[in-house]
Amino acid sequence: MLRLIARRLLVSAVLVLLVSLLTFLLQAAAPGDTARTILGDHYSPEAHRLLAHRLHLDEPVLVQYAHWLGQALRGDLGSSPISGLDVGAEIAGRLPVTLSLIVCTTTVTAVLGVALGVLSAVRGGRIGRAVDLVSLIGYALPGFWLALVLVALLAVAVPVFPATGYVAFADAPAGWARSLVLPVATLALPGIAVFAKQTRDAMLEALSRDFVTTLRANGASRASVVLRHALRNAAIPVVTLVGLTSVGLLSGTVFVEAVFAMPGLGGLAAQATTQHDIPVIQGVVVVFTLVVVAVNLAVDLAYARLNPKVRVP
């Protein structure tokens, strides 16, 4: 197990390095630069040259990246040339919002989706067809339209939940939960449909195996067969889907944070991209990559727990 973790961490370190380099190169190749954003529409070439020199924008791209990387390896993500704020502090203040959305949405999606999928596989018939219908509807609904409908119904017509904003958990746990209901529901509904269908298919395949017939012939209870044996064998594709969902939510949070006016990393990344704020972009990309690394490592450990053969190098 330790060798598996060490190998994954080594690969992850290389991945973080390559992603940060690629992001820096793409941002440098994009039209415009930070100096033009700061100076505005009307500026003299001399003013642009002086500001670009002060910001080291006139140096080769790889030299700029090496300078940023040296700071990052010391734990310093620099400061924003646009706002002047410390990038690390800005990310630390917004990270709980994005992580709350990702963790809560993944949890709700997995729990409800797996429950519906198991119920559909065990009961079949009308329930199975209902799950298929809900899956199709949930996957087809546009996220923007769904967010607006939820706000209109549950924040305007019946003011149960806030339409915008975010409450920190440390300030008010109940307010934190209420502020996440509508954003999480917007992100979770399509995912629940996918989880339900994936779980049902995996469960049907597991329930058709010979070991299930043997367990039933030996008098094992239905609950034991379904929950302890069939669900465990069907869990690997579901765990894979959990990882893919968590990673996919990194892009989904950009949309949700904009609609519900939540101060998360998605909005910060979008704003920094339009302003060519390279230190902020680099910091957000590194954090997002670390989240992906953590999710993939958790999925690998879950594989090793469910299937010991995965532990073999």
Residue 312: pLDDT band (50, 70, 90) is very low
Q: Is the Cβ–Cβ distance between 75 and 39 less than 8 Å?
A: no
Highest mean pLDDT among 26-40, 153-167, 206-220: 153-167
* Average confidence (pLDDT) over 119-125: 79
Residue 104: pLDDT band (50, 70, 90) is very high
Q: Which helix (H) or strand (E) holds 6?
A: helix 2-29
pLDDT tens digits along 140-189: 777 788 888 999 999 999 889 999 999 999 999 999 999 999 999 999 98
Q: What is the mean pLDDT of the chain?
A: 85
* Average confidence (pLDDT) over 199-205: 86
Write down the pLDDT at residue 309. 59
The least confident of 129-138, 144-153, 185-194, 267-276 is 129-138
Tell me which residue of 250, 262, 124, 121 sits closest to 181, measured CA to CA: 262
CA separation for the pair 313, 303 (Å, rounded):
13
Report whether pLDDT(124) > 80.
Answer: no
Write down the pLDDT at residue 310. 54
Structure tokens at 296: 């993939």
Write down the pLDDT at residue 83. 84
Q: Break the chain into its structural domains and give their ranges.
A: 2-73, 87-311
Task: Indicate the fold that domain 87-311 takes in CATH.
Answer: MetI-like fold (1.10.3720)
CA 75 to chain centre: 23
pLDDT tens digits along 56-92: 778 888 998 999 899 898 888 888 888 888 999 999 9
Q: Is the Cβ–Cβ distance between 302 and 253 less than 8 Å?
A: no
Write down the pLDDT at residue 308. 62
Residue with tokens 């044996």: 229
Highest mean pLDDT among 32-41, 87-96, 213-222: 87-96
Write down the pLDDT at residue 42. 73
* pTM given for the model: 0.85
